[in-house]
Amino acid sequence: MRKEEFQILKILRNYLLNNLFYIILKKDFKDNLLSNKAWFTISFFLLCLIIFPLAFGSSQYLELNVSISAIWISTLFANLIALDHMYKEDYNDGTLLYYIVNKVPLVIVVYAKCLSHWLFSGLPIILIAPLCSYIFSGYSENNLNLFISLILATPIFTLIGSPIAALMLGSSLRGAALTFITLPFYLPIIIFGVIGTNINNSNINAEFYLLLAILSIGIIFFPMITVKILKNIIN
């Protein structure tokens, strides 16, 4: 009987491990969907873009490059707002400790958390930003470039922010420290994104290739760093 129970538990554990990514992703997606934090990120992005034309006062100042810069800056700060809660709840309620004690592969947890974060802080902005650019500037020629740049850049924001968000767990200065530490790493991505979106840039593919290279390296490098940081903090 004990042997049969052991086999059942082993099968159940293997099933949970094989489906762990989808289980965590589904849980986080549901929590974000029902919480105000995810919607606050999107609302903040839209609020920045609404305030932007009011500050200039006249549409003649809303030229293409200026509106694009505003979209990228709004994207940056909207991502930073969502980043603070990436691992916070799981750390406070002991879920991360449970994963480590039960030898759950943290790399799967980190990838699921990153994807969940991107679905609420990156994907909505990717879909909204080209329309906002057209409304503010009256140009549509750069929308495809903006769309591609954001597809490449927003996951990079999430990946770079992941180890920093993990590093800030337990810190009383988490919000302020997170912003100051993350900004220097985000600025090159913002610069590549703005230049890549400029329709007057004759060498536009170079920025796309740079963002793609950073994304290709970061999708492996940053989650591994996050796992090591989480283990050191929790242990």
Reply yes or no on whether the pLDDT at 50 is more than 50.
Answer: yes
13: in domain:
no
123 band by pLDDT with thresholds 50, 70 and 90: confident
Counting the structural domains of the chain, the total is: 1
Segment 113-129 shows an average pLDDT of 87
Domain presence at residue 50 = yes
Per-residue pLDDT at 64 exceeds 50: yes
pLDDT for position 15? 54
Full residue range of the structural domain in which residue 70 is found: 20-234
Provide the pLDDT for residue 130: 80
Q: Is residue 114, in this structure, part of any structural domain at all?
A: yes
pLDDT of 87 strictly over 80: yes
Is residue 53 predicted with pLDDT exceeding 80? no
- Asked if residue 8 is part of any domain, the answer here is no
pLDDT over threshold 90, residue 201: no
Is 2 a member of any domain?
no
pLDDT at 62: 55
pLDDT at 63: 58
Flag whether 160 is in a domain. Answer: yes
Give the model confidence (pLDDT) of 128-164 as tens digits. Answer: 888 877 776 666 667 788 888 899 999 999 999 999 8
| Cα angle 160, 116, 38; round to 5 | 95
- For residue 162, tell me if it sits in a domain: yes
In a domain, 14, yes or no: no
